[in-house]
Amino acid sequence: MAAAAPEEKIQEEAKCPICLEYFTDPVSAECGHNFCCVCIIQFCDTGEGEYGRVECPLCRANIREETLRPNWDLARVTECVKTLNIKQREENLCPKHSKSLDLFCEEDRKALCVVCERSLDHAGHKVLLLEEAAEKYQGQMQTQLETLCREREELLRRKEAEEKVIQECQDKAEEERKMIMAGFQHLYEFLIDQEHASLARLDKQHRKVLKNQEEIISGLQGGISRLDALIQEMEERCQQEAREFLQDFQSISSRYEECRFLQPEEISPQLEATPDFWSSQSVMLQKCLQEFKDQLASDLEKVWDACWVKIPKKTHTMVDVTLDPDTAHPCLVLSDDRRSVRKEDKEQSLPITPERFDCWGCVLGCERFTAGKHCWVVEVEEGHGSSSCAMGVARESVRRKGWIKLSPVEGIWAVVCGGGEFLALNSPRTLVTFSEVPRRILVCLDYAGGQVMFVSADTGAEIFTFQSALFKGERICPWFMVENGSAQLHLRP
């Protein structure tokens, strides 16, 4: 109703205050008020007051007929208002019978006039007054509006939660980035220190070898000098006469004997082995560094594999899944808290309902998902002997009756655990083996991404991932199966 007030005000402004009809040839008086030309002239002719004065019927100001001026702008506005009013009246009339549309047919969901209501087209239809129908459907729309508002609030809440997760991931990634950079910086500094220490040891050893070698060379040079001096003296003596030659012969002869038996200092076996030692030391160092690089790369790979399991828990919302007893096969026995399931040979006496599986030993979780990323932990207890169990997700519309093929075609995305290995229920089947079979499985659902992922909740090792899953806009449920043997499944919060 509030929306109609401005329209009514415009219509009132386009009406003459004397005849109360839309302006016809509007004129303006000196006081600023507007009137139909005929209306104000007649008013002036019949409304002369004292001393022949004519007063404005609205503000009592003097009006002189000769001062009236045509108001063309108001005339154009009035014509527009008239056209608008005519159009509104036409819209409220039946286009077929030109009668007022005062009724509403619920079957055809359209407004009717009284003639339409009596026609064969609407015979037997439930017809309400227009106001009653509007009130009824406004109530329905209000309920729908409240539902949409609640859904919007839920989407906003989830959006804020996802944004919070994204921010936490970004903060954590930045923190991890700084820690990784700091760790490698420390490693780099350690390696630089070791490089400097190794070079220092090499320099020290080198200087020691050089010093020893220089001492030996110096000793050899001294011997050479003494020999040079004796040789020169002996050559000079050989040129002397016999008497002079024989005078110091004994002295020179003894010096000769001394120099003859003067042997150079032996090179230390340790020094002789030094080049080979350096060569082997270099080989050992290269081998040590290569082993260090290989071990570091292997250890880093293990660290990333171990940390990978944390990623789904950060990007996916952990869900506290419980089992739905109304869907459980009669042979399945659920725990009181509906978090564990095992299979017995004998069927229980349970109501036969459309929701219950009657062939495969299956049961659904109570939770339903139509958006978002969610994950939950399933612990496998295989028991004794041959046994098998499975876990995953399924469309809510998955067939419950009869034997069906457990595959994505039937709306099931799951893996079977048994005999120390996993079997992905895709087409063709995919066998996954582990040296140490995971017992705690993290099931991760990404609805929008069409992805169902299975990883070890302990080591983070990926078991299998279904890509491009077609959920078809349906609600998706946790799905479990215990088919034979003494296997049990436990849901962990």
Quote the pLDDT of residue 2: 44
pLDDT score of 94 more than 80? no
pLDDT score of 290 more than 90? no
Quote the pLDDT of residue 255: 74
- Highest-scoring range by mean pLDDT, 85-89, 278-282, 489-493: 489-493
* Averaged pLDDT, 191-216: 86
Of 27-36, 90-99, 121-130, 447-456, which range is least confident?
90-99
pLDDT score of 229 more than 60? yes
Quote the pLDDT of residue 315: 75
Quote the pLDDT of residue 226: 83
pLDDT score of 265 more than 80? no
Quote the pLDDT of residue 3: 46
pLDDT score of 168 more than 90? no
Structural domains of the chain, ranges and CATH numbers in brackets: 4-91 (3.30.40.10), 314-492 (2.60.120.920)
Write down the mean pLDDT value for the chain.
83
Over the stretch 134-144, which tens digit does the pLDDT of each residue have? 888 888 889 88
Strand 340-343 versus strand 332-334 pairing type: antiparallel
Over the stretch 426-483, which tens digit does the pLDDT of each residue have? 988 999 988 788 899 999 999 988 999 999 988 888 899 999 888 988 999 999 999 8
Alpha carbon distances (Å) from 252 to 66, 166, 222, 237, 261: 164, 100, 19, 9, 14
pLDDT score of 385 more than 80? no
